[in-house]
Structure 1
Amino acid sequence: MKLKIILTFCIIVISALSYAQNNDKAKDLIVLKKGKLTDGITIKEIKSKKNDVSINDPIITRPPIFETCKSLSDIEEQKDCFTQTLQKFISKKFNTSALTILPTGRHKIDCFFTISNEGEIANIDIYSNYKIAEDEAAKLISKIPNLEPGEINGKPKEISYWLPITFMLQ
């Protein structure tokens, strides 16, 4: 019983530390001016209710990777490449013209999704104060190309992500 309590406490502490947000607001901010999107999207890994593993889990032998990241052998380089490639994809494909009807100010869209054992985007959940923002983000996330799935001990494993998109309408 004592071991269960200690293990539960460790998991809670590790989870809290793993998902702490950085205070660098420039990284979390997309400024929308005249229909143009500037870079500044952060991607964070999450554990889902299905006991998926986080990409930060030490037992992961290979994170999910885009085609452009296949040549990298280091896990940290692959994670960075994944993040940068996804940021570029979001910045390029996000339909900013649909969001210009929202009120001026700061807005946030929380995007949750899973990269399946087959490398497909699945279990998309989007949350925002505005339905139109949710719809645009859902369209965008569903267009992410197939990836090579993450692996543990050479076997494909589902990995879930949280992608917060914060933008300012001026």
Structure 2
Amino acid sequence: MKKLVVIACFLFGGIALSNAQQTSPVWPGCENSEDIKKCFNQKLSQHVSENYEYPQNEAGEYVRGKVTISFNINEKGEVVVNSIEGDKPEVKKAAREMIMKIPDMEPGTLNGEPDSRTFTVPFNF
């Protein structure tokens, strides 16, 4: 009998979670887009190409590298950087500065309430 109760709890809990109404954060300019996620990704790509500034070393050469950035769009629609992983400190610093320039946006929601969303994105600069 206990096993049946536990199985029922998991089943009904899963159904409740699957019925949750969830929306993605809305990047400025994507408010009327048919595909908010696609528009978000396009705007993020555009933001990176327009705002990433390649750092230079002491010899004046551009420093390139790979980073993985984890950031949140919080309940207020603000960007919060969780972590930046990569080999080169100069690239990590430039990536942080670029991510912090993301504009505030309409936050994602869960069941009609503002909700924080985490994004993890790899970049090759």
Normalization by structure 2: what TM-score?
Answer: 0.76
User: Is the radius of gyration larger for structure 1 or structure 2?
Assistant: 2
Aligned counterpart, 2:20: 59
1:101-120 pair list within 5 angstroms: 101-102=62-63, 107-120=65-78
Q: Give deviations 1:98-129, integer Å, cap 9, x for gaps.
A: 374437xxx31111100000000014311110
Alpha-carbon distance, 1:153 to partner: 1.4
Paired residues of 1:124 and 1:138 also in contact (CA < 8 A): no
Structure 1 residues 21-170: aligned runs within 5 Å: 59-72=20-33, 74=34, 77-98=35-56, 100-102=61-63, 107-167=65-125
CA–CA separation in structure 2 for the residues paired with 1:146 and 1:98: 29
Structure 2: state its 5+ residue gaps.
Answer: 11-17
RMSD of aligned alpha carbons: 2.5
Runs of 4+ in structure 1 deviating by more than 6 angstroms, as ranges, are none
**Structure 2: how far apart are the matches of 1:115 and 1:143?**
13
1:5-24 equivalent positions in 2, closer than 5 A = none
TM-score after normalising by structure 1? 0.57
Taking the aligned partners of 1:69 and 1:115, their CA distance within structure 2 comes to: 15
Gaps of 5+ in 1: 8-56
Give the total of aligned pairs.
110
Q: Is the 8 A contact 1:112 1:160 kept in 2?
A: yes
